[in-house]
Amino acid sequence: MARTRKVTVSTDVHGHTAGWADAELPPTPAEPDPTAAAFFDVDNTMMQGASIYWFARGLAARKYFTTGDLARFAWQQARFRLLATEHAGDMSQAKEAALAFIQGWRVDEVELLAQEIFDELMAPRIWAGTRRLAQRHLDAGERVWLVSAAPVEIGRVIATRLGLTGAIGTVAEVVDGAYTGRLVGDLMHGPAKAEAVTQLAAVEGLDLSRCAAYSDSANDLPMLSAVGRAVAINPDGTLLRRARERGWEVRDFRTGRRAVKIAVPSTAAAGLLAGAVSAGLALHRRRRVS
């Protein structure tokens, strides 16, 4: 019998809020291990490129906005990453853009779009090596969660398509089935990921010392440090150095001397792209009404 879909929002004593959603899956056939799990970052860890970028590409193909708009914001992503400008002002800008991203849209409509766009653009860009690592955990009876700054509903679609347990992601407020344009808590990024994993472990009865985490980015060092086994996947330079210093396992599934990372967002840059998406959605809504 398949599991019913569950969305959980939890707030810790410090006021940090996390959300996680079960994927729509049959139960795992393996003997379950209730205290062990694996946590996988999405962008450039599970998937080549950024999920929000491919989602935007899919929206552009559906005439929500132009490919020129997409190119300009993809360039801004690269600029933010190269200049490493993730300071407080950028984070504020990112959050404001993320708020506008889905305002007024119905949850079921966004999930339907995410399903279509995953099949068209994201599925071919899943790293086969990372997918195999996730499957090993499932085969061992362990749960596997994606951890992403993307809205938790998009994360859930990706997890369902990959046969994983569920997703941890940014939580947007929903009223009567539609997004209000307000976030519940903060963007799921950096220390917020570690806090969310810790909260989920408390709710689900996980022993973090028996859990594993996988990421490509030094931004996820808090999450990687929170578990008993950390693995650097396609690591950036800073994470590679830290992994070597700490004796963490390193896996690189990229081809070539240094594979180009496609639209890898810093949190601020992802917010900028969300702004482009929101502008496109607003334009599309006006066209539908007129």
User: For the chain, where are the alpha helices, taking DSSP H only?
Assistant: 51-61, 67-83, 88-101, 107-117, 128-139, 152-162, 191-204, 221-225, 237-246, 267-289
Rounded-to-integer distance, Cα 139 and Cα 30, Å: 6
Selecting among 22, 33, 43, 207, the annotated active-site residue is 43
Instruction: Say which residues have a Cβ less than 8 Å from residue 68's Cβ, sequence separation at least 6.
Output: none
43 catalytic residue (yes or no): yes
One-letter amino acid of 120: E
One-letter amino acid of 16: H
Selecting among 12, 22, 33, 41, the annotated active-site residue is 41
108 catalytic residue (yes or no): no
Helix axes 51-61, 67-83, angle to 10 degrees: 160
Asked if 91 and 267 touch (Cβ cutoff 8 Å), the reply is yes
Rounded-to-integer distance, Cα 41 and Cα 47, Å: 9
Asked if 277 and 104 touch (Cβ cutoff 8 Å), the reply is no
For the annotated catalytic residues, the residue numbers are: 41, 43
